[in-house]
Chain A
C-alpha cells in the first residue's frame, strides 16, 4: 500500500505566479489535511477536506489560498499570486474515516517545498 504521495517535491515560483500542490492520499483514505511548515517551526494546520467537501478551513489565509479534493483525482492546494512569505514546506496528510468520535492516525506525505523568488 503506497503511502501519501505529494508532487512536486520542490517547486520554484516567481512572485505573482500561481503554485499548485498535489496530494494523493493513501488507498482507502477519504480525509485529507494540509499543513504548512516554516523553517525551524512546527506544522500549522491549514485545511481539512473530505471528498468534494471542505470540512475545516480555519487555518487557511483568507486570500490567494484555496483547496479542493474532487471526487476523482488528488487534492490540490492552490496559491495564487505567490509572495516570498509563502515560501515554506507544505505537507499533506490523510486518514481513514473516524468512527465514534475517535481519532484516526494521520499519515503524512513527504511534502512540497515551495520557494518564491
Chain B
C-alpha cells in the first residue's frame, strides 16, 4: 500500500560526482519507461526514455538502465551539477495504454 507523509528518499552528492537514482516498477506488462525531473514549483520535465527491447540508453550526461528480470530501472547522471538538484521520478506505461504510472520519487541534492 501507499505511505502518506513520509519524506522522499534523498541522495546527496558533491558537484562533479556521478549520481545513480534507482526505481522499482510494478507492472510486468510495462514496456516503456521514462525519467522525469521536477524542480521546485514546476511540472515534470522529460529527461530520457527507454523501451523494453533495450537494456541501456544514453543521452547527454544521463544513462538509463533497465533490468526487466527484477523490474528495476536506474538513472545515472555523470558529472552532477548543482542545476541537477531536483526530484526525479520514474514512470511506466505499456503499448496501447496512454497514461503514466509514476514512482514515488528521489530528491537529488548537489552541493558545490
Binding site for B on A (CB under 8 A): 4, 31, 33, 35, 38, 40-45, 48, 55-56, 59, 91, 93, 95, 98, 101-103, 105-111
Contacts and interface: CB of A to CB of B under 8 A. Distances in A.
A35 B49 CA distance: 20
B105 A108 contact: no
Q: Which of B6, B32, B96, B100 has most A Cβ within 10 Å?
A: B100
Contact of B43 (A42, A91, A101): A91
Given A101-B96, A103-B93, A103-B95, A44 B42 contact: no
10 pairs of A and B residues whose beta carbons are closest in the complex: A42-B102, A108-B43, A45-B99, A43-B102, A101-B96, A101-B95, A103-B32, A108-B44, A110-B43, A42-B104
22 contacts: A40-B6, A41-B2, A42-B105, A43-B44, A43-B89, A45-B101, A48-B99, A56-B98, A59-B99, A91-B44, A93-B43, A95-B98, A98-B98, A101-B95, A102-B95, A103-B32, A103-B93, A105-B34, A105-B49, A108-B43, A108-B45, A110-B42
Interface residues of B, number: 28
Contact of B4 (A41, A45, A59, A93): A41
B8 interface: yes
Contact of A111 (B43, B99, B104): B43
Contacts of B96: 101
Given A40-B105, A59-B99, 18 more contacts: A33-B100, A40-B7, A41-B104, A42-B105, A43-B44, A44-B102, A45-B99, A48-B98, A55-B98, A91-B43, A95-B98, A103-B32, A105-B46, A107-B46, A108-B43, A108-B45, A110-B41, A111-B42
